Copies of this chain bind each other. A is one copy, B any other.
Amino acid sequence: MNELEFIDRLKAITTHPAARGLADDVAMMPFGRHKLVMTHDMMVEGMHFLRDADPADVAWKLVAVNLSDLAAKGAKPLGLLLGYGRTAGDAWDAAFVEGLKQAIDRFSVPLLGGDTVAMGDNAPRTFGLTAIGEAKGHIVPSRSNARPGHAVYVTGTIGDAWAGLQIASGALQADDIDISATLLKAHTRPTPRLEEGRILSNLVSSMMDVSDGLLLDASRIAAASDVKIEIDLAELPLSKPFQTLVGTDRDARMKAATGGDDYQLLLTASPETVLSVPLTCVGICRPGSGIALHSHGERLELPDAMGFVHA
């Protein structure tokens, strides 16, 4: 039983409409006149972060990835609950709290409570974070309302976090210290697109965050919406630092399209809709299914891995 089979079993007992069939990044439940948006993500040492990662970065990322799920639904964060599985390491814990404080201050979201447990010796540090938000718009976008003809957009630039990971792991080296720092920061300190998400949520036909890779995440919108999504690699927004370090050719763009950890918003909307935040159109929805990849009009083969598939 792999993760997907296990999730299928959970889906079978998850019948409440608020759960959205476990096919979205969040649960969404009407509460009074507004809507409650809830998400929970875990991070395990050795699986989601390295043993020698900066604990403050780990705390930041734990907050950012959860808030990114709220951002993709246009929700305003109300608070966080932390599950903290400790192992020995006082300095580690203290640095984690420091990073947590930086993140909750930066994103103006209070820590409300949670639980701390001892994991025992030799166990991996294991953290869970629940983010609870409030959606005041009429629509809390899902992944399932993209239609043929709708344009596909992303916020910001794609691939920076992937490039930062290459620098962190020593696979790539940037001569320019500013370029190195910018890309590393995209990897260690992602910024959830909360403001953009709130503006976009009433305008889009589907929206999610780019966590596992643009192509893989786009394929999820395609599957949920029953459309084919054509992505034009040549249109991918690449940052100057990425272009300098990795390049702008097809290989570089393929890395950006599959690297993941971007925490930008990926969305679809009718091409007539005026979307009042900076976006790049990277593709279009067609009748059909799956992902089709183009570059300057030329049809490309799909890569073996469209993103990061969890074990």
In-complex Cβ contact of A118 among B15, B78, B311 (8 A)? B311
User: Cα distance A310–B110 when bound, in Å?
Assistant: 25
Does B48 lie within 8 Å of A9, measured CB to CB? no
Q: Does A10 contact B (CB under 8 A)?
A: yes
A42 contacts across to B, CB distance below 8 A = 83, 85, 115, 117, 128
The interface bits of chain A over 29-47 (1 if a CB of B lies within 8 angstroms of the residue's CB, else 0) are 1011110101111111011
Does B9 lie within 8 Å of A93, measured CB to CB? yes
The A123-139 residues at the B interface (CB cut-off 8 A) are 123-124, 126, 128, 130, 132, 134
Does A14 lie within 8 Å of B126, measured CB to CB? no
User: Cα distance A293–B15 when bound, in Å?
Assistant: 49
| Identity of the chain B residue whose Cβ is nearest the Cβ of A92 in the assembled complex | B1
Q: How far is the CB of A86 from chain B (nearest CB, A)?
A: 7
A119 contacts across to B, CB distance below 8 A = 44, 47, 124, 126
Q: Does A216 contact B (CB under 8 A)?
A: no
Does B29 lie within 8 Å of A32, measured CB to CB? no
| Identity of the chain B residue whose Cβ is nearest the Cβ of A117 in the assembled complex | B42
User: Cα distance A32–B34 when bound, in Å?
Assistant: 8
Does A27 lie within 8 Å of B113, measured CB to CB? yes
Q: Does A82 contact B (CB under 8 A)?
A: yes
Which of A16-24, A184-192, A223-231 participates in binding chain B? A16-24
Q: Does A104 contact B (CB under 8 A)?
A: yes
CB contact under 8 A between A117 and B81, given known A32-B34, A111-B10, A123-B124 = no
User: Cα distance A18–B79 when bound, in Å?
Assistant: 9
User: Cα distance A261–B78 when bound, in Å?
Assistant: 31
Q: How far is the CB of A96 from chain B (nearest CB, A)?
A: 9
A41 contacts across to B, CB distance below 8 A = 83, 115
A7 contacts across to B, CB distance below 8 A = 116
Does A38 lie within 8 Å of B113, measured CB to CB? yes
CB contact under 8 A between A113 and B39, given known A97-B13, A310-B118 = yes
A36 contacts across to B, CB distance below 8 A = 31, 36, 78, 132
Minimum-distance CB pairs A-B, first 6: A32-B32, A16-B110, A27-B112, A83-B128, A128-B128, A1-B90
Contacts beyond the supplied A10-B82, A19-B111, A38-B81: 12 A-B pairs with Cβ under 8 Å: A6-B84, A14-B111, A27-B112, A29-B78, A31-B34, A32-B34, A38-B113, A40-B115, A47-B119, A83-B128, A128-B128, A132-B132
